[in-house]
């Protein structure tokens, strides 16, 4: 506890030095222009639209770079420039990257707003608030409907409500077109699809991929197998479900060879009886669409439906 107090005092002092302001000068009293309440019930009072935002997740990187000019971002995550998993790799090129998710690194950027997800360490969030930073914690979406709500939520936080509404409208237009197409496919012609990553089958009931599957008009094999949101599936269960199609990764996570992985699946003797293997029905839908929790998720729906039904 003593060590933490010393660390917080040090950070406050460093923050003051970095600000370059006259510590003896009286501070001008300001009245909050607007207030927002985050997922944890914390009220943030903002004097103006945030101009120096630190984004701590790829989700917030992607949403914020569509809602605001990138000059308003003090930093984004390291994954923002990774073309294999980021939908804003080009836009994020000129945005500073956060060196680490540490209190010291974040304070050094002197943000007027920090955007954090509910899965980040509680200790980090508490420490950032203790040094006086505005921290907005959001709930990670599990459905496309929740993604839309998050975009509107973020738009209010950064003072760009109209842009948020416009982004959601564009999402709806993509989804409506896909759903109009897949509605023409009879229920008995719907395909069973299982997603296979380097760590096993994933995308169980309640996951974001489960909702992508539903919107694309495909049957989620992982949910059929009884998988829950954060579970992975053993190979034996994949054989039991016998999917029509297997979706394999596109992102070379930590340097893994996605093409070799695909060939290994096709040539695995244990999977020889699976319909997807016998018919060579392995598909790839960009991981940057199927793993994301931003507006780009609708392209995962579009591309999955197209890959499965050749529309």
What are the pLDDT digits (tens) for 289-305? Answer: 999 999 999 999 999 99
- Could you give the CA distance from residue 141 to residue 245 in angstroms, rounded to a whole number? 26
DSSP 8-state assignment for residue 97: B
Counted residue by residue, the chain has a size of 311
From first to last of its 311 residues, the chain has per-residue pLDDT tens of 444 444 444 444 444 434 444 333 333 444 558 999 999 999 999 999 999 999 999 999 999 999 999 999 999 999 999 999 999 999 999 999 987 899 999 999 999 999 999 999 999 999 999 999 999 999 999 999 999 999 999 999 999 999 999 999 999 999 999 999 999 999 999 999 999 999 889 999 999 999 999 999 999 999 999 999 888 887 788 899 999 999 999 999 878 899 999 999 999 999 999 999 999 999 999 999 999 999 999 999 999 999 999 85
pLDDT at residue 32 in the model: 57
Per residue in 99-154, pLDDT (tens digit) is 789 999 999 999 999 999 999 999 999 999 999 999 999 999 999 999 999 999 99
- Could you give the CA distance from residue 219 to residue 214 in angstroms, rounded to a whole number? 7
Give backbone dihedrals phi and psi of 297, rounded to 5 degrees, phi first: -60, -30
Domain 183-309 = CATH 1.20.1740.10: no
CATH 3.40.50.1980 maps onto the chain at 2-21+30-140, 183-309
Which architecture does CATH list for 2-21+30-140? 3-Layer(aba) Sandwich (3.40)
CB 227 within 8 A of CB 204: yes
Nearest to 112 by CA among 21, 15, 37: 15
pLDDT at residue 230 in the model: 84
pLDDT at residue 297 in the model: 98
CB 62 within 8 A of CB 77: no
């Amino acid at each position: 506890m003593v060590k933490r107090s010393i660390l917080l005092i040090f950070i406050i002092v460093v923050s003051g030095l970095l600000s370059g302001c006259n510590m003896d000068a009286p501070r001008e009293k300001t009245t909050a222009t607007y207030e927002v309440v985050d997922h944890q019930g914390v009220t943030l009072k903002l004097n103006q639209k945030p101009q120096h935002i630190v984004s701590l997740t790829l989700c917030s990187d992607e949403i914020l770079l569509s809602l605001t000019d990138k000059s308003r971002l003090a930093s984004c995550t390291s994954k923002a420039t990774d073309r294999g998993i980021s939908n804003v790799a080009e836009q994020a090129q000129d945005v500073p990257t956060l060196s680490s998710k540490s209190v010291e690194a974040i304070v050094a950027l002197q943000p007027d707003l920090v955007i954090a997800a509910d899965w980040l360490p509680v200790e980090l969030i508490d420490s950032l608030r203790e040094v006086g930073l505005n921290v907005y914690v959001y709930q990670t979406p599990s459905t496309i409907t929740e993604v839309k709500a998050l975009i509107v939520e973020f738009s209010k936080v950064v003072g760009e409500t109209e842009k948020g509404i416009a982004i959601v409208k564009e999402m709806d237009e993509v989804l409506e077109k896909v759903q109009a197409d897949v509605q023409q496919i009879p229920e008995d012609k719907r395909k069973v699809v299982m997603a296979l990553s380097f760590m096993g089958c994933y995308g169980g009931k309640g996951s974001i991929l489960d909702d992508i599957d539903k919107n694309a008009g495909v049957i989620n094999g992982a949910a059929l197998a009884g998988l829950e949101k954060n579970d992975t599936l053993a190979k034996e269960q994949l054989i039991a479900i016998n999917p029509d199609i297997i979706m394999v990764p596109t992102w070379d996570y930590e340097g893994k060879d996605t093409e070799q992985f695909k060939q290994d699946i096709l040539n695995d003797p244990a999977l020889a009886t699976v319909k997807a293997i016998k018919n060579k029905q392995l598909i790839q839908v960009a991981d940057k669409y199927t793993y994301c929790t931003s507006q780009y998720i609708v392209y995962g729906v579009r591309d999955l439906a197209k890959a499965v039904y050749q529309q």
